[in-house]
Chain A
């Protein structure tokens, strides 16, 4: 090839690597940012690395990711190698048929594999549940658990399942190349079958096994979609955690963890490459180079009499690994636990630590995206929650579908502090199931720096003037509810015509490109960074955005003249929750005045606790040494005259819910 040609091709290869690595480089640079943005540089700092190690969510998910990848690789490599050997001793026809099946998980889209495994696990759990109940009822010697849920076990099984085909595919060619007579020859020469296997076959196919294991590990680490569908709520890989975080505020802790991962892989890679290069050089130079002390030691160890050393140290390592896995699962498994599912940015996280310190109960705190997503999660069997915090209308639905467990209010003395306004509401008329968590209003949030006029009506959401700058709220109830309000209808209407009309309003604006996106908690970073001008969200979250808004962004909140929605989010316990005592303790703790004050201060949502609501301005003054702006307090805890203009959502009949559902799915299509 001509020289200048090569220069050109190298340039293009270089450009491709620039494309591959520039984003990663930026990710790394911004992990050292003093500010909390990943786009605006505020100076050098190692702050986020410190924060990273305190972030339990991220650290736990890193641990889960590594553990599941290593275990899945080990299991899949062993199983895949044996399967490949088995396959190659079958007749050609059978083998080809099986190899076709083997290719299915690789040819299939990840999402199909994930979904089908999820359905399979859930179906199996249901079958197992009935079997276990029957088995437990006929005898009392062995008690089988009758409630299985998605978790680390299913995650591991899924990873093994999609890794095995890769191992087989890598081992198979080596088996094909191997001379079949070798095994027979070894046995003829007096080897036992086992010896022949270990000494003849395994070394022959070793390169295939190694590359298979490497690819399996890569696939495991890189996977997100299959984990997403099979891990359930109890365990979360790093990818899942980050996916959850991208919906809220992504802090540079994510950059920090990426940097650490990237650098450690880089170091491993450089080391292994160096070794190879050195080996090659040595081969080229023959024995010219003196062997180092390390090499000599290694050679010594390779001598047969040191076999026990090698075996022994391998054994010790394996035992240590198993022991640490065992210990960690014991440490996390033996403590009493309560599984809580709430919304993003919806608790002062110090409260979790405080509760854990006081009671010794571990809180497994998860978040869902919206009421509808929570419902899907509960229905799909992926969730293992004890306590959930849905909104009013969803509570109505959960009660109607018999998915909640009545609470024992004698275990929740703090319920007495809840203001009477928030008891016996329409969704739970006798107050058997719920303890209110927060309440608030829905409104329009806009950036006065880019929106010059004052917004007073929902019409701003559908206005071409703001095309590409409006964020549509990503749940059917709020998005269609806003349109209903604009049209002067009730948010609880069951008239299909009115609902369709409201939907058309939204869909039409969507077609005209008014909406920049459909967001839930993504709204925080979008609005705070000035990346969108208008959004609708909840009053408390508006205050928290103001707290974090970037320079040049000036957010305002308005409850439009057509009125709005006011809501109550309440804690409830799921039917047959496994940790009911702990759940009651958690609910009681969160209902206390102390916790409500802390939460009010942290998430800016109004508390239903009478004392906390009244004491908050004083609490604020004491904490910050300045008076709480009455306007802020008014946005937080809407006064009665504002609430009068607002309507609460109620649970809708099934056919209306179905209409909402199909309209909502279609919105994405239009």
Chain B
């Protein structure tokens, strides 16, 4: 049986080589060549001038990830302690927005944050604008709007893995700890927190990676002024500045940085089960 079944893996290996490995190799080739495919390191040298974009992307993504964690962890924790009906409903409600595409969710924020948008209308109505003596409070086109967009879109990616780890915690462990005299705080710190770490790591990855590389959110909510790595890359391929070689180089550097971050982070959770998905 063993030999027969292992043949099932062959088409998959071919597929992975074709659709995952080779495309990345092509990208690597692009990043080390000029437009005429002569070897060069210029693409990487040029990147120095984009250091601020790298910094901004990582800063905003980090903030968004932290906010997601601060909201997501307690919410998942409390949700895991509710009854099964509540849990199922809550899970469904968290997944539901994902079925209407993230661009629609981002778009819904545009009309809220505009200078004449719903929030500013609300501020006007409660007299906040007059009290401050301004026509509007700038919301759209700021880095805050971009972070908000990231948190809004990626919060479910933080909650789902943390929740699924906490909900599967072995309750006898908690009871044993209590029996041995640990109070609630100690139980949380010594048992729940370490055991839920894989979920946290997985959630952090799933929020940080899309945040750092987004271009739609920064474009829609940042108004093009909050340029991020994703925008920079998109510009080199389908946007105003056509230079796929530079774009490939930026993508590669971003990929490497992200992978290094992940490896370092996963080091903390070593020995634990591999990061859990959803």
Q: Which of B5, B71, B238 has the most C-beta atoms of chain A within 10 angstroms of its own C-beta?
A: B238
Q: How far is the CB of A499 from chain B (nearest CB, A)?
A: 15
Cβ contact within 8 Å between B234 and A111 = yes
A183 interface contact, C-beta 8 A: yes
Cβ contact within 8 Å between A24 and B108 = yes
Would A112 and B254 be within 8 Å (CB), given that A242-B103, A372-B240 are in contact?
yes
Cβ contact within 8 Å between A380 and B244 = yes
Q: Cα distance A98–B118 when bound, in Å?
A: 50
Those of A501-560 within 8 Å (CB) of chain B: 510, 515-519, 522, 529-532, 550
Q: How far is the CB of B3 from chain A (nearest CB, A)?
A: 8
A178 interface contact, C-beta 8 A: no
Q: Which of B50, B105, B220, B223 has the most C-beta atoms of chain A within 10 angstroms of its own C-beta?
A: B223
Query: Which of chain A's residues has its CB closest to B223's CB?
Result: A517
Q: Which of B175-183, B191-199, B210-218 contacts A (4 or more CB under 8 A)?
A: B210-218
Contact of B240 among A184, A475, A519 (CB under 8 A): A475
Q: How far is the CB of B245 from chain A (nearest CB, A)?
A: 10
A120 interface contact, C-beta 8 A: yes
Q: How far is the CB of A37 from chain B (nearest CB, A)?
A: 8
Query: Which of chain B's residues has its CB closest to A118's CB?
Result: B237
Q: Is the interface of B mostly helix, strand, loop or mixed?
A: helix
- Contact-residue size bin, chain A (C-beta under 8 Å from the other chain): 35 or more
Cβ contact within 8 Å between A664 and B241 = yes
Cβ contact within 8 Å between A26 and B100 = no
Q: How far is the CB of B158 from chain A (nearest CB, A)?
A: 11
Those of A90-143 within 8 Å (CB) of chain B: 90, 98, 101-102, 104-113, 115-120, 123
Q: How far is the CB of A94 from chain B (nearest CB, A)?
A: 8
Q: How far is the CB of A267 from chain B (nearest CB, A)?
A: 11
Q: How far is the CB of A344 from chain B (nearest CB, A)?
A: 15
A9 interface contact, C-beta 8 A: yes
Would A380 and B242 be within 8 Å (CB), given that A110-B213, A116-B27 are in contact?
yes
B39 interface contact, C-beta 8 A: no
Cβ contact within 8 Å between A119 and B234 = no
A13 interface contact, C-beta 8 A: yes
B32 interface contact, C-beta 8 A: no
Contact of A665 among B19, B78, B110, B241 (CB under 8 A): B241
Query: Which of chain A's residues has its CB closest to B151's CB?
Result: A19
A82 interface contact, C-beta 8 A: yes
B98 interface contact, C-beta 8 A: yes
Cβ contact within 8 Å between A16 and B102 = no
Cβ contact within 8 Å between B244 and A109 = no
Those of A280-315 within 8 Å (CB) of chain B: none
Those of A216-267 within 8 Å (CB) of chain B: 218, 221-222, 224-225, 228-229, 238-239, 242-243, 246, 250, 254, 258, 261-262, 265-266
**Which residues of the other chain, B, contact A487 by a CB distance below 8 angstroms?**
none
Q: Which of A161-169, A334-342, A632-640 contacts B (4 or more CB under 8 A)?
A: A161-169
Ordered by A's residue number, 11 sampled pairs between the chains whose C-beta atoms are within 8 Å are: A9-B74, A20-B97, A79-B12, A86-B8, A101-B21, A104-B20, A108-B258, A116-B27, A221-B101, A224-B102, A668-B224
Q: Which residues of A contact B (CB under 8 A)?
A: 1, 6, 9-10, 12-13, 16-17, 19-21, 23-24, 26-27, 30, 38-39, 65, 79, 82-83, 85-90, 98, 101-102, 104-113, 115-120, 123, 157, 161, 164, 166, 169-170, 183-184, 187, 193, 215, 218, 221-222, 224-225, 228-229, 238-239, 242-243, 246, 250, 254, 258, 261-262, 265-266, 269, 273, 276-277, 369-370, 372-373, 375-377, 379-380, 382, 450, 468, 474-476, 510, 515-519, 522, 529-532, 550, 661-662, 664-666, 668-670
Which 5 residue pairs spanning A and B have beta carbons closest together? A86-B8, A86-B9, A517-B223, A109-B213, A83-B12
Q: Which residues of B contact A (CB under 8 A)?
A: 1-13, 15-16, 19-24, 26-27, 30, 46, 49-50, 52-53, 71, 74-75, 78-79, 81-82, 85, 88-90, 92-105, 107-112, 114-118, 121, 135, 138, 140-141, 152, 155, 205, 209-210, 212-216, 220, 222-225, 227, 230-244, 247-248, 251, 254-255, 258-259, 262, 277-278
